[in-house]
Amino acid sequence: MKHPSIAVRIVIGTVAAAALVPMTGWAAPKPKYTIKEVMKAIHKGDEALGKKIGKGEGTPADFKKLVEYYTSLPLNEPPQGDATEWKKKATALLASAKALEAGKPGALDLYREAVNCKACHSDFKPKDEHK
């Protein structure tokens, strides 16, 4: 039996190696913000945007910013806890923000229900980071 030429072996090897490299189009989207960046931008402090919105004082620009930041949450992995449960809660926050941005009836109540800091912190935030 005749062995393939070196050129054929190189082509076969290159094709096999390329099949092992993940294709960019198939990669999961990367979050623009980390969980900490989202929490700092939206929830940290007495004058936080999330608190303002929760009081019913949000503006269309506030809702847009909320959607921008919350879009990253489901794309991040939680530092601890069940990743599926994290995605569920993070997606609920994002959905409520999109409802606010779209001006849907009941959106504020949906947002208030989705924002449950204690529940998320208990499940997903490492104990040494609680303050």
Residue numbers of the domain that contains 73:
27-129
Question: Is residue 5 in a domain?
Answer: no
Question: Is residue 4 in a domain?
Answer: no
Question: Is residue 33 in a domain?
Answer: yes
**pLDDT tens digits for range 50-62:** 999 999 999 999 9
**pLDDT tens digits for range 28-39:** 789 999 999 999
Q: For tokens 């941005």, what's the residue?
A: 101
Residues 6+ apart with CB under 8 A from 29: 75
Is 96 in contact with 107 (CB distance < 8 Å)? yes
Q: How confident is the model at residue 14 (pLDDT cuts 50, 70, 90)?
A: very low
Is 65 in contact with 37 (CB distance < 8 Å)? no
**pLDDT tens digits for range 63-100:** 999 999 999 999 999 999 999 999 999 999 999 999 99
Q: What is the pTM of this model?
A: 0.75
Give the number of domains in the chain.
1
